[in-house]
Amino acid sequence: MNATETKTMYEQLGISEEVWAYGQKIEEGLRDRFRGFDETAEYNQLKVIRAMQENRVSEACFNYVSGYGYNDMGRDTLEAVYASTFHTEAALVRPQITCGTHALALALSANLRPGDELLSPVGKPYDTLEEVIGIRPSRGSLAEYGITYRQVELLEDGYFDYPAIEEALNDRTKLVTIQRSKGYQTRPSYSVEKIGELIAFIKARRPDVICMVDNCYGEFVERIEPSDVGADLIVGSLIKNPGGGLAPIGGYIAGRADLIENCAVRLTSPGLGKEVGASLGVMQSFYQGFFLAPTVVCSALKGAVFAARVYEDLGFPVVPDGSESRHDIIQAVTPGSPEGVIAFCKGIQAAAPVDSYVTPEPWAMPGYDSDVIMAAGAFVQGSSIELSADGPIKPPYAVYFQGGLTWNHAKLGILKSLQSLIDDGVVPAEKVKRML
């Protein structure tokens, strides 16, 4: 198919000639960045294959197991594959872990006891953790069980206030939680190297403190993971990076064997731990998704940096910008108004293969303190490794774009978001024409 035929296909999908030409110009300037993403994906793909081979993954691992799940070979082997890939002693990878917030809540509640203190040295945690911790009162929160919480605000540049962290560490500090990705903030997402420096600082002062990293949106973005630089636990969702777009549900926790066993006991029951929990026929999707994850993440990274360049060149604040190194798949764009956030999400939804005809609207989503709009015409409901965008309807009116199982779909999504902003009068069409 030549360029003219491709442009015609974009036009049939609602992309104007000017927006298409602008996208082509941006893409051409990103060839070297894309090559770097491809090289990282190749390395991580080999890492996953090696882990699967070392743990003797076989066809029998895909068998359906029901009931108690005793001796579920596929489940146990998959957990060994995760541990090998992330260089940890053990892992818990289960469909019974419903989402990333559940995985984090599980890790926290399993390893904290009444009288312990939880410390966040990276400022405010992700919105849904506020109720888990008890920052916003909620039934069953850590606060209800006598677990206190302290946080250290970030410096103006978004990085760590080491003197304040040292002061916050005390005899009751049991666990430190480090959120790798920015969440609904415009701070930087942290590199594995920076996370390692923070962990080393904490361990030098309190070697006994558990360091847990919320690794959501960060898996396979770099060649190393936080578990390679001292994290005792790393936690994530399977409908984000490591599920590769195929996992229909699930979460993982990887790290020290004793801490993982605590998590297993809390997930199931004292005395049962990892021994129960049937895989219920999802193992092939879990394995194949993990196998595909490095290349899927690569596509999402290409989409993220493409979005950054498209919008920063038009004058919108973006975090990170189009030239910065990437440490997660999330791209923050700040249209600066509710109308801009909504128009952006409408464009992403319109680019979806599923529910493209649906118009996303802000709503009072559980776990958040403001209305949130989410666009995700996904094969797996809520899967944010698939093309998606969301954001709270509150200042500074930023939207968070992520995902794209293929680069071509991510590209279409970004162009549709821009087209929607133009169609809704948020971005003047003449502004795009001047960029050509």
Residue 49 forms part of a structural domain: no
Beta strands 331-333 and 399-402 are antiparallel
Q: Which residues pair with 391 in a beta bridge?
A: 373
**Do residues 233 and 251 touch, judged by C-beta distance below 8 A?**
no
Residue 107 lies in a domain: yes
Does 126 share its domain with 157? yes
pLDDT digits (tens, 9 = 90+) for 94-104: 999 999 999 99
Of 231, 264, 282, the position where a domain reaches its end is 282
Say whether both 302 and 429 belong to one domain: yes
Question: pLDDT tens digit string along 172-212?
Answer: 999 999 999 988 887 899 999 999 999 999 999 999 999 99
Domain end marker among 265, 282, 299: 282
* Per-residue model confidence (pLDDT) at position 174: 98
34 and 181 within one domain: no
CB proximity list for 342: less than 8 A, separation 6 or greater: 360, 361, 362, 373, 393, 424
Q: Domain for residue 404, yes or no?
A: yes
Residue 51: CA atoms inside 13 Å, Cβ hemisphere, count?
21
Is residue 124 located within the same domain as residue 178? yes
Rounded to two decimals, the pTM is 0.95
Dihedral angle at the C-alpha atoms of 88, 93, 98, 104, nearest 10 degrees?
A: -10
Q: How many domains does the chain have?
A: 2
Q: Which two tokens stand for residue 241?
A: 């990076």
Residue with tokens 């068998």: 63
In terms of domains, do 147 and 274 share one?
yes
Question: Do 227 and 298 fall into the same domain?
Answer: no
Residue 116 has pLDDT above 90, yes or no: yes
Instruction: Identify which has the larger pLDDT, 186 or 232.
Output: 232
Domain extent for 220: 59-282
The per-residue pLDDT for 41 is 98
Q: Is residue 50 part of a domain?
A: no
Q: Which of 282, 317, 341 is the last residue of a domain?
A: 282
β-strand pairing of 148-151 with 117-120: parallel
Instruction: Kindly state the tokens that stand for 167.
Output: 């002061």
In contact, 131 and 367? CB cutoff 8 Å: yes
Q: Are 397 and 340 in contact (CB under 8 A)?
A: yes
Residues 130 and 258 in one domain: yes
Question: Can you give the pLDDT at residue 1?
Answer: 52
Place of tokens 């770097």: 36
